[in-house]
A = this chain, B = another copy of it.
Amino acid sequence: METFAARGYNNASLAEIADRAGLTQAGVLHYFRSKALLLAGVLELRDRTDIELQGPERPRGLAFLRHLVDTARRNAEREGIVRMYAVLSAESVTEDHPAQEYFRDRYAGLRSLVVEALTEACERGEVREDLDVRDAANAVIAVMDGLQVQWLLSPDSVDMAASTERVISALLADFGAGPLPGPLPGPPDEAPASDTE
């Protein structure tokens, strides 16, 4: 993970990864038949470690949106993971990248979670046209991703949680719901929580 985060997939070498893991390059290939399979293993591991937003007991509606802001705040303490996702997600749009399907699926999943949350958050017969909600959901995901790149380049110029919160609450207000209740100063530190990026 650290190597992929620091160098991206293409520029990462099995030799460096092997070094950090305390074995040789051939040793790594004994467990993962190829570099691409190793990447798949890393991504899969993260998905299992971060129980993320799966399961039926995940937060819904407003609680979910607040959870996104909390995630942005927690991410400021986890540069490694942020860097890995920022680098790999963008790199995945290049030709024949081994993580392309992974990120396509990931975004599709996130998209429907956020659409659902936005819809529940501003209960009303029809919140607005469905399309509008999808546009807003894409925007929410996009802000979080885009902020990460800016933050990685200039940490002092970016407050990921504040910017995320501002967009979400502005969108909600625009939809006719009240602003994000129980807003920014959320629990400064939560228990064994999980995350999104």
Contacts and interface: CB of A to CB of B under 8 A. Distances in A.
Contact of A11 (B94, B111, B144, B150): B94
One complex includes copies of this chain to the number of 2
Dominant secondary structure at the A interface = helix
Contact of A152 (B8, B93, B159): B93
Interface in A1-36: 6-8, 10-11
Contacts of A159: 131, 135, 138
14 contacts: A6-B95, A7-B95, A86-B93, A89-B90, A89-B149, A90-B90, A107-B157, A108-B154, A131-B159, A135-B159, A142-B147, A143-B167, A169-B174, A170-B171
Given A8-B91, A141-B146, A174-B174, 4 more contacts: A8-B94, A104-B154, A107-B150, A135-B162
